[in-house]
Amino acid sequence: MTSSTRNENPAEREKEEDCSKMINEMDLWDPFRKMRKMQRKTLGFFPEDFMADTRQPLIDIIDKGKKLQVTAELPGMDKKNIDLKVDDRQLQISAEAKQETKDKKEGYYHHERSYQKFFRQVPLPAEIMTQEAKAEFKNGILSIELPKKHPEKKEKGHKIRVE
């Protein structure tokens, strides 16, 4: 602070100095700083940079009595790029698309790349019969039907085929 903006009251000035000291100490105290530094050296980037490119699809979960109906928005995806996994109480949706376009004309060159990734892990409000799960993808909307499990049955996770 310059002398013209500095608080002349000694108690207030001491309070301001204590606040400044605390802020500086907070900047220095970062339990993950060394881990990020190591990741930057080994990977060349921060994992947060990668995750920033991954979007979470918008979803709706509707309880329809004997089944759960899950709807997810995956704009720009093709059904062959969608991967679904379900176990008793959890649904995992992931999708990835890469696109590249090139134009060459006399005196003109244009090259673009795009990349989209979706990922979402959803806890389910009821146990599911994983073998009977069905999924359909149409116009960027993924519809998943998950029949509820009877209490006496126990099943392992199962991969769902997208039609």
Query: Which tens digit of pLDDT belongs to each residue from 14-56?
Result: 777 766 666 555 555 566 667 666 666 665 554 444 455 778 8
The band of 2, judged by pLDDT with boundaries at 50, 70 and 90, is very low
Q: Is the confidence at residue 160, as pLDDT, over 60?
A: yes
Q: Is the confidence at residue 62, as pLDDT, over 60?
A: yes
Query: What distance, in Å, lies between the first and last C-alpha atoms of the chain?
Result: 66
Q: Provide the pLDDT for residue 80.
A: 93
The band of 7, judged by pLDDT with boundaries at 50, 70 and 90, is low
Q: Is the confidence at residue 127, as pLDDT, over 80?
A: yes
By C-alpha distance, which of 61, 83, 78 is closest to 70? 61
The band of 4, judged by pLDDT with boundaries at 50, 70 and 90, is very low
Q: What is the mean pLDDT of the chain?
A: 78
